[in-house]
């Protein structure tokens, strides 16, 4: 089965083609980072309009890239949620229209399920069951994954997600958008031992997260060492970034080890934008090896939003016989635990 995948949940337009026998045939991604940089964050209306401008040219690009014709396509998958409603509608309407015009089935894909399954695109994919750590700009969740659509939420952030905490800490240090990767880069120049930041909710049982207190601690530290321009000196900023990153990574690692023990699993999958963080990968590999566990993650280009993960997840669900109804439905808020079947499937 050959599936066209469309991702437009936020500020990146992703298109890909996945073949169940040949694997990933082609993918392309357009990022709106420059468009939103002046605003310090994503402007939903601008994001939607840019998806409208870029989506169909990207579809044509991927089709040409993979030497695929319309009659070669067996299905279309699009992100149906969660995400920005306007952005989701662009992808859903386009995906449904393409499927209708080509007379093939369509399927609405859960964005976080796409992330969760992204490591399956690698040459050495994990096998079910496993525990997944989903860490992106809007989500921090630990999920016990028994199989496709069989998800049990073990813990989640009670306030800011890890990605949001990274972005907000970056703003405190006057770093440009997107803040998370820039903070991680600055942290490489810092001394992580100069400041001791808290590891929130690790001193009590449970698998939930909370990063709001860490965010407040960071702001207090910045203000305490600020100079006349409102910021600490360059080295102190780097030291704060390093200490902040260490605190987030340690917190995630502690909870992951706890989750694997609770679920009695030996495999961890990490996915989402924050899974690209080098320190997080290194720390998880080292700590889980001590426990006799293994960790899997997607390649860097598939950590952020992309069409490949949507094409793959959509292919699995289309192969299972699920189809979207003609009525177009998107869900800006869509808990992963509600995902027993595909959106609008029968």
Helix (H, G, I), strand (E, B) or coil at 30: strand
Cis-peptide into 129, omega within 30 deg: yes
Phi and psi at residue 194, in whole multiples of 5°?
-65, -40
Rounded (10°) angle between helices 179-187 and 278-290 = 70
Max distance between CA atoms of the chain, in angstroms, equals: 65
State whether the Cα torsion 186-142-106-318 is positive or negative: positive
Nearest Cα residue to 149 out of 262, 313, 1: 313
The Cβ of residue 309 has, within 10 Å, a number of other Cβ atoms equal to 33
* Alpha-carbon separation of residue 44 from 5, 10, 48, 304 (angstroms): 22, 8, 6, 18
Nearest Cα residue to 40 out of 66, 63, 17, 11: 11
- Where is the binding site for substrate, in residues? 134-138, 167, 180, 277
- Where is the binding site for Fe cation, in residues? 111, 115, 305
Alpha-helical (H) ranges within the chain are 33-37, 44-65, 85-102, 111-117, 162-172, 179-187, 212-224, 234-263, 278-290, 307-319
- Report the residue count for the chain: 346
Q: Quickly tell me which residue has 């293994």 as its tokens.
A: 294
- Where is the binding site, in residues? 111, 115, 134-138, 167, 180, 277, 305
First to last CA, the chain: 19
Helix (H, G, I), strand (E, B) or coil at 255: helix
């Amino acid at each position: 089965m050959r599936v066209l995948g469309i991702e437009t949940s936020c500020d990146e337009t992703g298109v890909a083609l996945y073949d169940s026998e040949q694997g990933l045939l082609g993918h392309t991604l357009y990022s709106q980072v420059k468009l939103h940089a002046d605003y310090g964050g994503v402007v939903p209306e601008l994001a939607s309009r840019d998806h409208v401008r870029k989506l169909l040219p990207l579809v044509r690009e991927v089709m040409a890239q993979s030497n695929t014709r319309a009659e070669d396509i067996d299905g279309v998958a699009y992100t149906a949620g969660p995400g920005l409603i306007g952005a989701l509608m662009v992808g859903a309407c386009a995906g449904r229209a393409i499927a209708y015009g080509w007379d093939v089935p369509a399927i609405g894909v859960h964005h976080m399920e796409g992330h969760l399954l992204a490591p399956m695109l690698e040459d050495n994919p994990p096998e079910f069951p496993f525990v997944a750590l989903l860490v992106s700009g809007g989500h921090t969740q630990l999920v016990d994954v028994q199989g496709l659509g069989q998800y049990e939420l073990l813990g989640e952030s009670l306030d800011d997600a890890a990605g949001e905490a990274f972005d907000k800490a970056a703003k405190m240090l006057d770093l440009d958008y997107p803040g998370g990767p820039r903070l991680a880069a600055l942290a490489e120049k810092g001394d992580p031992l100069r400041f001791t930041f808290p590891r929130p909710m690790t001193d009590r049982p449970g698998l939930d997260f909370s990063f709001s207190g860490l965010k407040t601690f960071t702001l207090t530290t910045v203000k305490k060492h600020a100079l006349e321009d409102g910021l600490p000196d360059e080295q102190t900023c780097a030291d704060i970034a390093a200490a902040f990153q260490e605190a987030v990574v340690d917190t995630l690692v502690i909870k992951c080890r706890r989750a694997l023990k609770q679920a009695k699993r030996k495999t961890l999958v990490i996915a989402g934008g924050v899974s690209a963080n080098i320190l997080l990968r290194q720390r998880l590999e080292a700590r889980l090896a001590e426990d006799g566990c293994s960790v899997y993650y997607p390649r860097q280009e598939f950590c952020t939003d992309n069409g490949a993960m949507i094409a793959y997840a959509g292919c699995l669900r289309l192969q299972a016989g699920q189809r979207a109804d003609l009525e177009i439905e998107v869900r800006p808020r869509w808990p992963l635990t509600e995902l027993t079947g595909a959106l609008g499937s029968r």
